[in-house]
Each structure stands twice: as C-alpha cells, then as structure tokens.
A and B are shown apart, each in its own frame.
Chain A
Amino acid sequence: MLSYALRRTWQMVPTLAGVVLLVFFLFKWFGGDPATIIAGLGATQQQIEAIRHTLGLDRPWWVQLGIFLREIVTLNWGASWATNEPVAHLFLTRLPATLTVMIPILVLQTVVSIPFGLGVAVVRGSLTDRAAMAITTVALSVSFLVYVLVGQWLFGFYLAWFPIQGWSDSVLTNLIHYAPLPILLAMFVSIAPTTRLYRSFFLDELGHDYVRTARARGASEARVLLRHVMRNATIPILTNIATELPGVVVGSFLIEVFFSIPGLGREILLAVNRSDYPVIQAVTIYLALLTMLINLLADLLYRVVDPRVRLN
C-alpha cells in the first residue's frame, strides 16, 4: 500500500509541472499585458514601464518562469491586483463559506439519490421507471439559472419563507438561516442527473452472474439488492463522489453569485471579470494540486473497498 502511495505521489510531479507550465504560458501568451491592467486607464507610458520593471516583465521568459515557480513553492502569491488583499488570505477566508454550502449539498444529494436510483433500477421498464426517466429528462433541459431565478423569486420574494440573500459570520446562523434555500435549490437540480447515474450503476450490477447465484441459493430479493448488489455498487458510487469532490471547492459559483455568499467561487468570478491574474493563477494551481491529492486518496480508498484491486 505504501509503495503504491509513493509511486502515485511520484507520478503527480510531471502532471503538476504540466499545470504550472499551462497556466504560465496561457497567461503569458494570451493574456493582456499585466502592467497595462494594473496601471488602469489613463495611465502614462512611464507609469506602465515602471510597473513592468517592478513585476519583472522586462526579463527573459525563463527568468519569469523561475520567479513564478518560486512564488508557487513559497506560497507567496503577492496580492490581488484589484483589492491588494494577499491571495493566501483570500483563499482562507472564502473557503469556509463555500464549504458550508457545498458539503451539505454533496451529502444530501448522495443520500437521496441512492434509494431513488435503486428503486428506479428495480422497476426497470415499468411505467414508474419510464415516467421517472421522462421527468428527469425534462427537468434537466431547463437551465440551472432558471431554477435559481424562479426559486429565489418564489421562496424568497413571493412566499418569503427564506431570506433572498445574505450571510453572517456564525456558521450556525448560516446553516439554519441563509444556507437552506441555496442548498435546497442546488439539491433539487442535481438529484435528477445523480439518480440517473446511480440507476445505471445498479442496473449494471443487476446484470451480473453473482446476482443469479444469490437467487439460486434462495436469497430473497431484498437481500440480493441490499446486500449483494449494494456492496458492489458502492465502488462506482464512491469513485463518482471522489470525482465530484474537487469541484466542491470551486463551489457552485452561480449559487454564490445569486445569493451573495462570500465564497471561493464568487471570488474567482470577480477575479475573472477584473482580470485579476494573480488570484486566478493561484487558485488554478492550488486546486489542481488539491484535485490530484483527492484523486490519490480516492484511489487508495478504492483499494480498500474493492478486493480485486488490492493485489497486483
């Protein structure tokens, strides 16, 4: 297990290097001139040149790459061009808000979709199944934006069951007061695709020979489903959760924008609109690293859960 973990960690290095190179060259070749952006409109040529020199933009590209690398390793990204807030600080303060909303969503969505998916898989081909599939297809054809727009208007404005927007400093207040509406709306939207996905996992397992064996030994349908099939289906389900986990950190930026939640997703969006390069670059690289770590953990977890993968 340990040697596997080490090998995988070692394999992460070229990928991380690739991401760094991608980000560096992407912004260097296609992005606007940072000096002009920082100087703002109406700046003189002199001011722009001065900023260039400070940023080291007049040095050769490999030197710039070196500076870039040093910044990554020392976790020193400087400050946001727009607000002058240190990027690391930005990261740390925005993350809790994102997680307060996203983690309940991920948990609830999984917990609800599993019985739904199993139920629909069991009655495959029946009217219930086809109706469920039709409803999810139509539900998925409406943009997420519409759900949030209408939901916010309906529950926040018209019925006034929840506050339209807002956030506080206390996690508890957030969870009880401000988070429920966004969580409910996001969950409502994501249940459809997740249920369909889990349904396909369960159907896949139901087609395997070991199900026939269990029935041949006299196991009841309930036992076959809840013990034999479920245990096997948890493998792809866990893999799926692990794949979605890195996305959790970026958060549903849409939710954060609509509900004015000061999370990481909204921050990234603001940065994009303001051409705030340090923030975007930093977030991209650190999230890439985080994604790779989560994938590694998922792989290790996979080896615990699936006996076939354990031995070489």
Chain B
Amino acid sequence: MNAIASFAAVPDSESSPGVWQLAWRRLRGDRVAMVALAVVAAYAALVVASLVGLVAADWTREVGVPYANPRFLGPTVDESVKIERPSGPRVDLSAVDPLAPRYAEWDARAAQIQSVSAPHLSTLTFGGDRLGRDVIAKAIKGTQVSILVGVFAALLATAIGTALGAVAGYFGGVAGDLMEWFYNVFTAVPGILLIFAFAAVFGRGTATVVLILALTGWTAVYRLVRAEYLKHRGREYVLAAEAIGASHFSRMFEHILPNVSHVVLVQLSLLVVFFIKAEVILSFLGLGVPIDSVSWGTMLNEAQSELILGKWWQLAAATAFMAVFVTAFSTLTDALRDALDPRLRQG
C-alpha cells in the first residue's frame, strides 16, 4: 500500500479556515464588536446567575419603605420628620379605658419578644418601587425574564420558519403551495393584531408569551429561508450532488443548510431584539408575563404613575438595563453580518 504510506508521510498542513473561522477572525479585528461581545457575555452570565438564584432571588421582598429613594439622593424629608413624643408622666386612663390596667404588663411582655422583621430601609441602592422592593433586584430579575423570553421565542420561531422554509423552497410543488398558503394566512393579519388575538385566547404567562411571539414571528424566517433554498437548489453544486447520487435529505441538510446557516443566524439575532421589545410592550399592557413575575415591561408600567410623583428611578433602571443590552446585541449582530458577508470573503 504505497499510496497510504506516502499519504501518511505528508506532513499535516494546517487546516485552512472554514467560513466560521474566517468570520471569527474578522470579528476579532473589530474592536467595537469585541466590546459588544463582552457586554453580551456579561449579560448572559447575569441571566444565568439570576436563573439559578445567585442574585435577585429575593426581589419580591419589600425591603424598603414605599418609593424609597436611591442612596445618592438621601432619604426623603418626610421620613426623618418624627412627631415628638409628649413628655411627662403617663396619664391613668382606668376610668375610661377598661384595658388600661394591663398596658404595663403588655408593654413588658412586648419588650421580651424579639422582632423578626427587619425595619424597612429608608434608602436603597437605586431606590425602591411602590411596595418598597429593591429596584436593582427587580431590574436584574426583569433582565433574566425579558432576555430569556426573547431568546426562546426567537429560537422557536427560527426552528419553525427554517423547517417550513426549507421544505417549501426545496421541493416546491404541492408542499410548497401548502406552505405558501400558511404563510399568506399568517401574514394577512397585521402582526400586532395577530399577537392580540393570540393573547386574548391564550391569556397571560411566560411560556404563553414565548409561544405567541414565535407563532407570529416565524414568517420572517420562513420567507428568508425559502428564498435561499430556491436560490441554492438550482446551483451547480447541488446538481453535482444529485449527479453523484445524494438523497434529497442529504442535499437539503448536508449541502444547502450549511450555506444558509449564516443568513439564518443573523435573522435569529434580529428576532431576539425584536421579540424582547415586543415582550416589553406586551408586559406593559398586562398581556405578557404573569402578575407574580417581573420584566422590563412591568417595571415601565409601574413607572407610568411614578413619574408624575417625581419618582424616576424605576424607569431609569429598566431603561438603562434594556438599552445597554439591546445596543450591545444590535452592534454585535451588525458586526456578525459584516463578518459573515460572502462578498468580503477572499477567493
């Protein structure tokens, strides 16, 4: 077996980079993108930490006074004003108050009992909401909820859209017509209206929101994937695969899908941002996450009435957490799209 021997003797030349490696290299050279990536990674860590309960697990506890100020503002004036206790001996009210003889006894007993509940703090790190809950804790928990809803909804929508789009684009014919009919039905109704209709029927709930968003958003992915499959199925490398005897399944998923995946990835990222914003609006309107849960949307809902009272910290916290994440993620998506653009690839 001379051939094998000589083959093995050839030094293993460095594997040349594939599309993803080339894209990663290009991304690495983009400093802005790297910063964005770091920010997104930090948020991911935060989400995981919040999910397992490492942080913000006790966000429901009313640790502060209602509308507690942020620490840097100092406690509100009202809190520090105390009504002065009148000095002087205690008046004996036995004549009018039947319980009066026992007050001393009860006072003594009360002094023995330890108070378990901590006193409500007058200021919190970044303030408290109407019930005195820590705004930072709520913001972190809200981050977890909003981001997870957005990501899962995007994943589900992408899965549905890709599967249907691949079938429609590759096979055409009756299956394609059926998919097109589906697509037409779902896009005939304006998106927001469809969401409302689903919401009216399914009600509130985190999983429900994910489902509603996915059922409305798959159409964008479908359209894209179908167009890509239509474009690729006539390409010569697919014809060549058919010529050597590759099956339909092989052609669809081993040959075409890797050439389409970068487009799908960018679309997935766009959907994540879109769904997060949609979830915020739904939760704001009371159609999103359940009452016992918190998201950026519910925080903004509460902020609505707080703003008139001059309490701005919940609005600021929710907005800041959301804006930083969405900016970083959008920037990363744009950079990813540029890095993956085949036109920039050499050769």
The answer to A–B direct touch (Cβ < 8 A) is yes
- A interface vs B, CB < 8 Å? 14-16, 18-19, 22-23, 26-27, 30-31, 137-138, 140-146, 149-150, 153, 157, 246-247, 249-250, 253-254, 257, 268-269, 271-273, 275, 277, 280, 283-284, 287-288, 291-292
- Is B192 touching A26 in the complex (CB atoms < 8 A)? no
Q: Is B125 part of the contact surface with A, judged by Cβ < 8 Å?
A: no
- Cα A141 to Cα B40 in complex, Å, equals 14
- Is B200 touching A31 in the complex (CB atoms < 8 A)? yes
Q: Which chain A residues border B327 with CB–CB below 8 Å?
A: 137-138, 141
Return the chain A residue nearest B189 by Cβ: A288
Return the chain B residue nearest A281 by Cβ: B197
Interface of chain A: mostly helix, strand, loop or mixed: helix
B129 CB to nearest chain A CB (Å): 15
Q: In the complex, which of the residues A23, A141, A273, A275 contacts B286, with contact meaning CB atoms closer than 8 Å?
A: A273
Q: In the complex, which of the residues A27, A157, A246, A292 contacts B201, with contact meaning CB atoms closer than 8 Å?
A: A27
- Is B330 touching A275 in the complex (CB atoms < 8 A)? no
- Cα A149 to Cα B312 in complex, Å, equals 11
Size of the chain B interface, CB-CB below 8 angstroms = 45
- Is B330 touching A26 in the complex (CB atoms < 8 A)? no
A30 CB to nearest chain B CB (Å): 4
B200 CB to nearest chain A CB (Å): 4
Q: In the complex, which of the residues B184, B315, B322 contacts A15, with contact meaning CB atoms closer than 8 Å?
A: B184
Q: Which chain A residues border B250 with CB–CB below 8 Å?
A: none
When A31-B200, A141-B323, A280-B200 are in contact, do A287 and B189 touch as well, CB less than 8 Å? yes
Q: Which chain B residues border A280 with CB–CB below 8 Å?
A: 196-197, 200
Q: Which chain B residues border A153 with CB–CB below 8 Å?
A: 307-308
B334 CB to nearest chain A CB (Å): 8
Mind listing 14 A-B residue pairs with CB under 8 Å? A18-B182, A18-B188, A19-B188, A137-B327, A137-B334, A141-B330, A142-B322, A143-B280, A143-B281, A143-B300, A153-B308, A268-B193, A275-B200, A284-B193
- Is B307 touching A149 in the complex (CB atoms < 8 A)? yes
Residues of B291-347 at the interface with A, using a CB-CB cut-off of 8 Å, are 296-297, 300, 303-304, 307-308, 315, 319, 322-327, 330-331, 334
Q: In the complex, which of the residues A14, A31, A157 contacts B308, with contact meaning CB atoms closer than 8 Å?
A: A157
- Cα A249 to Cα B287 in complex, Å, equals 21
Q: Is B255 part of the contact surface with A, judged by Cβ < 8 Å?
A: no
- Is B181 touching A18 in the complex (CB atoms < 8 A)? yes
Q: Is B202 part of the contact surface with A, judged by Cβ < 8 Å?
A: yes
Q: In the complex, which of the residues B190, B281, B331 contacts A246, with contact meaning CB atoms closer than 8 Å?
A: B190
Q: Is B166 part of the contact surface with A, judged by Cβ < 8 Å?
A: no
- Is B202 touching A30 in the complex (CB atoms < 8 A)? yes
- Is A146 touching B319 in the complex (CB atoms < 8 A)? yes
Q: Is B148 part of the contact surface with A, judged by Cβ < 8 Å?
A: no
